[in-house]
Structure 1
Amino acid sequence: MSRVRTLEADDVPAVAAMFQRLLRKKAPPPPTSLTDYIRRLYLEAPFCGGGVHSLVHENGEGKVSGFIGVHALPMTFNGRKLRAAVCGSLMSEDRERDPLAGARLLKAFLDGPQDLSFSETANETSARLWTRSRGTALTQYSLDWVRVIRPVSFALGVASRRIRIAKVFDPLASVVDNIWRRHLGPGRLSWSALPTSGTGQKAANVREIDSIQFADLLDPLTSQYALRPDWKECRLDWILADAMDKPDLGDLVFCAVSSPTGVRIGAFAYYAKPGGIGSVLQIVAAPGQAGHVIDCLVDDAAARGLGGLRGRVQPALLEAMLGRRIAFVHAASTVVHSRDADLLLATTDSQAFLNGIAGEQWCRLIRGRFT
């Protein structure tokens, strides 16, 4: 008889093999680095335990046939401490023999002791399972934003994810992009590219900082949210160290943004690889300052030679992004579940700080390298 139980150390090789097959779309066996990382992330990390566990599904033969990866996230709601659980990988095989394995895993997870459950990487199948389990899909948190800086480099960056040889055209792309951008007038808004003069907005100053300084800015710059991570309890040192170990995405750059008078108004963290598409991990901004912070991010990426930027939307940033030639796409849904109506209202009313560091985008299972 099939059952759901807590992940144990002996299950990790089977989970890694499943991850390799179903999510990485590669033939097993998985590399040792992937197996070791799954063990470290779901069994040994500082946010493991405390009643919040990753789970496996066993089929009738006692074989691991499904998995849901979970880590705890300390949060506060109007000053009240609570515990959230972030759902990462949700996968099951033998769907023809046992089509309800995924649903059993999700139900067991949602029945856990956490006050709030959420995921920011739910595909269409997972999102349907969440909503059928009385979860809610948050439209305003479920969009990716895209800004083109160098159009030819951007196109090659997209193509190179499928066709590696496309990168040989990078030198030619740089020449064409420079000509294209010079023909755009200073400060001109264009969907196709960013002028060589940048956004034209000089109302703020940018300074590169380290991960410790960035972590110190998260609490004051998210204080306006009713529901947010308890940054002092989140082990940001562990999370940011993990986030920095994604060499294929480039260096993880941390920057602080200040007004001309020196008042700190925002910060951002993004992966920068010249000629590539920068992946934005997090943007934080003081109320009313999101536009200035976004402009500084785009200008900083242009100065580092990036072809474009892509990141996850926060509702507080959405209004500022409109009119800045930023496009939006839907790749995955942010979904939430709670038995506390006030917590749910905070998420649906855009009063929650979710996604990015307050989620799972920092995790190496998302676009990390395992060889």
Structure 2
Amino acid sequence: MTIEVEEIRASENIPAGAGPRRNIRPMTPGDVPAVGRLFNRIFRGHDRAPGDDLGRYIETVFFGSPQYHPDLGSVVHENAAGGIDSAILSVPMAFMVNGHPITARLLCAFMAESKAGAVGAARLARSMRAARQDMCFSDNASPVSADHWAAGGGLVLPIQSLEWQRSFLPLTAAAILASRHLPVVGSPILLGILGLVDRALRRLRPSMRPKAEGACRIEPAGVEEFLECAMPMLERFAIRPAWSKSEFDWLVHIASMNRSLGALECRKVVLADGRTIGAFLFFRKPTGIATVLNLVTEEGRERDVAAAMFARLDAEGYALAVGMAQPFLMNAISRQRWLSFRHRGYFCLVTRHAELRQAAERNDIYIGGLASETWSRLLTDF
């Protein structure tokens, strides 16, 4: 989540006459009320203190990670009067790069008062330049913010900047998506009528129904089984989340707090001989949207796993499935009928390591879902 701050020019250009030296420092739990109020002003358009729920959520997410350290967490900028006029909220995450561990920073919100926070915003942006970061990324940057990432030596990952949408009940799915802005469109009566029309259309257009490929089946699994499946399947990527059990459990915990997306569940894809060839972790919202966080497969089994996933989600009654695009899955995903892509926000990455940059440029990277901001309530609530 980012804010378009027009006043942030090239990050080296601090306005003349900026006054006394301001201070960039790590955010502390005592800053939560001020940062929450800044969040409300910038992203919600009202100037009031954060409610208890928002305050607790900010503290849980940005101070609770097993990877947390003040030097790798969120940062704030104090003005001459000691007030916070800009901030970057970030979560440290463990990654492996060519077999070596690093701690990356997921940037979740860049907030700045308009003119009053321009100096602080520019200084915060400068502190995130590639030359200073092992790995720093954001999965939902605005066009202006993406330009600043690029100016600071960063990359924009075009495929990960897309969201795929597979409609199973197209009219119902369109109404559910429209109801985010027009709640009346999502009324149960209207959705019921559209559902009847969709099912009639499915009889006329068999291509609306996804079909599994290969001799495999879907089995329910606990989220801890996803971790067991994912780690060996992700070893083929030069850049991948490290996901220790403690960090994975914490990520699952905070993702599960996002009840507006539904309950967090896992399914695994199994061959007839019992061997697991893939798994997917998703938010389950019955008769609505299935939000796929992470999909992993054995190398070479992408088509089988993706087709099985779509067939199962259709059978479970979802109107629509959505998820972040991944380069290694594009061939398998794109074979689906009734599938579209939309730009979800720029996925940006900066690093001072040449080997990491080169791996990202050749798409030798697995990132997103739990290893991004998709789960955050700051995107959907408050």
TM-score by length of 2: 0.88
Counterparts of 1:1-371 in structure 2, within 5 Å, are: 1=20, 2-25=22-45, 28-49=48-69, 51-93=71-113, 95-110=114-129, 114-168=133-187, 169-185=190-206, 188=207, 194-195=208-209, 198-201=210-213, 203-232=215-244, 235-325=247-337, 326-367=339-380, 369-370=381-382
Deviations 1:306-348 (A, max 9, x none): 1111111111011212231321111211111111111100111
Q: Residues of 1 paired with 2:334 and 2:273: CA distance?
A: 27
TM-aligned CA distance change 1:279 to 1:26, over 3 Å: farther
Distance in 2, Cα, partners of 1:346 & 1:20: 38
Are the aligned partners of 1:103 and 1:129 in contact in 2 as well (CA < 8 Å)? no
In structure 2, what is the Cα distance between the partners aligned to 1:53 and 1:344? 22
Q: Secondary structure at the match of 1:140?
A: coil
**8 Å Cα contact 1:5/1:57 also seen in 2:** yes
- Cα separation, 2, equivalents of 1:50 and 1:13: 18
**Aligned counterparts of 1:304 and 1:20: Cα–Cα separation in 2:** 38
2: CA distance, partners of 1:161 / 1:8: 34
Kindly provide the CA deviation profile for residues 214-270 of structure 1, in whole angstroms up to 9, marking residues without a partner as x: 121120111110111212266101101211222221222210112233221111111
Count of residue correspondences: 359
Residues 248-297 of structure 1: per-residue CA shift (max 9 Å, x gap)? 21222210112233221111111222332221111111111111221122
| Unpaired segments ≥5 residues, structure 2 | 1-19
Residue 55 of structure 1: how far off its partner (Å):
0.4
Q: State whether residues 74 and 234 of structure 1, in contact with CA within 8 Å, keep that contact through their aligned partners in structure 2.
A: no
Residue range with higher mean Cα deviation, 249-258 or 112-121: 112-121
- Higher alpha-carbon deviation: 104-113 or 39-48: 104-113
Report SS of the residue matched to 1:13: helix
Distance 1:105 1:116 in 2: 16
Q: What secondary structure, in the 3-state scheme, does the structure 2 residue paired with 1:235 have?
A: helix
1:23 CA displacement: 2.3
1:89-109 CA-to-partner distances (Å, cap 9, x unmatched) read: 11111x234434323212224
Contact 1:131–1:137 (Cα < 8 Å) also in 2: yes
Q: CA RMSD of the aligned region, Å?
A: 2.0
Distance in 1, Cα, partners of 2:99 & 2:51? 43
Q: Could you tell me which amino acid in structure 2 is paired with residue 357 of structure 1?
A: L
In the alignment, what sits opposite 2:12?
A: none
Could you state the TM-score of these two structures normalised by the residue count of structure 1? Answer: 0.91
Q: Distance in 2 between matches of 1:113 and 1:232?
A: 25
Call closer, same or farther: CA 1:105–1:114 in 2, change over 3 Å: same
SS at match of 2:71: coil
CA deviation after TM superposition for structure 1 residue 47, in Å: 2.2
Q: CA deviation at 1:122?
A: 1.3
Q: Distance in 2 between matches of 1:17 and 1:121?
A: 21
Cα distance 1:224–1:33, how it changes in 2: closer, same or farther (>3 A)? Answer: same
Q: Specify the code of the residue in structure 2 equivalent to 1:235.
A: E
Amino acid corresponding to residue 184 of structure 1 in structure 2: R
Deviations for 1:134-160, whole angstroms, at most 9, x for unmatched residues?
A: 111111321111111101110111111
Distance 2:119 2:111 in 1: 11
Residue 191 of structure 1: aligned partner: none
Aligned residues of 2:278 and 2:305 also touching (Cα < 8 A)? yes
| Structure 1 contact 121–332 (Cα < 8 Å) conserved | yes
SS at match of 1:231: coil
Distance, in Å, in 2 between the alignment partners of 1:19 and 1:102 is: 14
**CA distance in structure 2 between the aligned counterparts of 1:291 and 1:100, rounded to whole angstroms:** 50
